[in-house]
């Protein structure tokens, strides 16, 4: 696959959920584009990833649904690099259950990571961006924010919330040099995607996507890097659906 060229050589980029999947692809792409990285994940694998990408990068193992942890993350980033130019809220979980069997704790855990975590990271990093008058925020939503998916009650609700949050921040912070956008993938060929869409279920889903396949992490990363770039300054409050046409049906 060809690589789109972006220059982030003068940028500090914070990525949550960076240890694998889309987050890992993002870390590799931003690093290759010259960015200094702050990588956050609940997995200690994020530390090895940061080391592999170069000594300039910072990694922290945190739970993004923890307010104190997120505040400490942003404080460490500012202490180390002096600023945050780009925030990518990628961390997320996707537990499955029929609506009538949905456990309350499972519901709460999904909202905590997928929505509360996005809010906490946006608020903490956004304060720094507002003080400087510049920032790019990209939130990972999903096609599940716009359509219902069987067994995805908590997930669909959380990702719909991400879109509402994104649009409101775009309205409030746009006048201050900060753009806030969402990327909504279809099923992506990652560990999380394979968990929810393995086997015959996955084949049935592919048949409903006009391109007849799932997305790759690289394809999602391309879209995010564009929205994070200075060239995307007039894109604000958008929901970029990288879904192969699934929500057009």
User: What pLDDT score does 4 carry?
Assistant: 60
Mean pLDDT of 15-36: 96
User: What pLDDT score does 106 carry?
Assistant: 96
Tens of pLDDT, residue by residue over 138-178, are 999 999 999 998 999 999 999 999 999 999 999 999 999 99
Read off the tokens for 77.
């980033």
249: Cβ contacts below 8 Å, ≥ 6 apart: 208, 210
User: What pLDDT score does 1 carry?
Assistant: 38
**Candidate list 134, 155, 195, 246, residue with the active-site label:** 155
CB 90 within 8 A of CB 139: no
How many other CB atoms sit within 10 Å of the CB of residue 137?
Answer: 29
Tens of pLDDT, residue by residue over 184-226, are 998 887 777 776 777 888 888 889 889 898 889 999 999 999 9
Read off the tokens for 148.
């219902």
Query: Which of the listed CATH numbers 1.10.357.10, 3.40.50.720, 3.30.70.1250, 3.40.50.880 matches domain 12-241?
Result: 3.40.50.720
CB 49 within 8 A of CB 59: yes
pLDDT at 3 over 90: no
Strand partners, 215: 188
DSSP element (H, E) containing 111: helix 104-111
User: What pLDDT score does 199 carry?
Assistant: 85
By C-alpha distance, which of 122, 117, 246, 95 is closest to 185?
246
Tens of pLDDT, residue by residue over 99-126, are 999 999 999 999 999 999 999 999 999 9
Q: Check if 134 is active-site.
A: no
Q: What is the rounded radius of gyration, in angstroms, for the C-alpha atoms of the chain?
A: 17
DSSP element (H, E) containing 13: strand 12-16
Query: What percent of the chain is predicted at pLDDT more than 70?
Result: 98
pLDDT at 26 over 90: yes
By C-alpha distance, which of 20, 9, 34, 16 is closest to 193?
20
pLDDT range class, residue 2, cuts 50, 70, 90 = very low
User: What pLDDT score does 190 carry?
Assistant: 78
Per DSSP bridges, beta strands 58-61 and 36-41 are parallel
Q: What is the pTM of this model?
A: 0.94
- DSSP state for residue 152 in the 8-state scheme: B
């Amino acid at each position: 696959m060809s690589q789109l060229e972006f220059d982030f050589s003068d940028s500090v980029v914070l990525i949550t959920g960076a240890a694998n999947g889309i987050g890992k692809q993002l870390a590799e792409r931003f690093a290759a584009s010259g960015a200094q990285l702050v990588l956050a994940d609940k997995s200690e694998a994020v530390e090895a990833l940061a080391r592999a990408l170069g000594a300039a990068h910072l990694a922290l193992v945190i739970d993004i649904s923890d307010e104190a942890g997120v505040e400490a993350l942003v404080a460490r980033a500012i202490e180390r690099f002096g600023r945050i130019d780009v925030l990518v809220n990628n961390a997320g979980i996707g537990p499955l259950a029929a609506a009538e069997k949905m456990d309350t704790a499972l519901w709460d855990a999904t909202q905590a990571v997928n929505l509360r975590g996005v809010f906490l990271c946006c608020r903490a990093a956004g304060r720094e961006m507002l003080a400087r008058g510049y920032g790019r925020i990209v939130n990972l939503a999903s096609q599940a924010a716009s359509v219902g998916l069987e067994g995805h009650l908590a997930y669909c609700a959380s990702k719909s919330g991400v879109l509402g949050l994104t649009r409101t921040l775009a309205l409030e912070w746009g006048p201050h040099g900060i753009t806030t956008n969402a990327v909504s993938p279809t099923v992506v060929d990652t560990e999380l995607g394979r968990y929810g869409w393995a086997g015959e279920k996955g084949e049935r889903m592919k048949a409903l996507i006009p391109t007849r396949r799932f997305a790759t992490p690289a394809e999602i990363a391309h879209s995010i890097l564009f929205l994070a770039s200075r060239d995307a300054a007039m894109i604000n409050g958008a929901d970029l659906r990288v879904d192969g046409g699934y929500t057009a049906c």
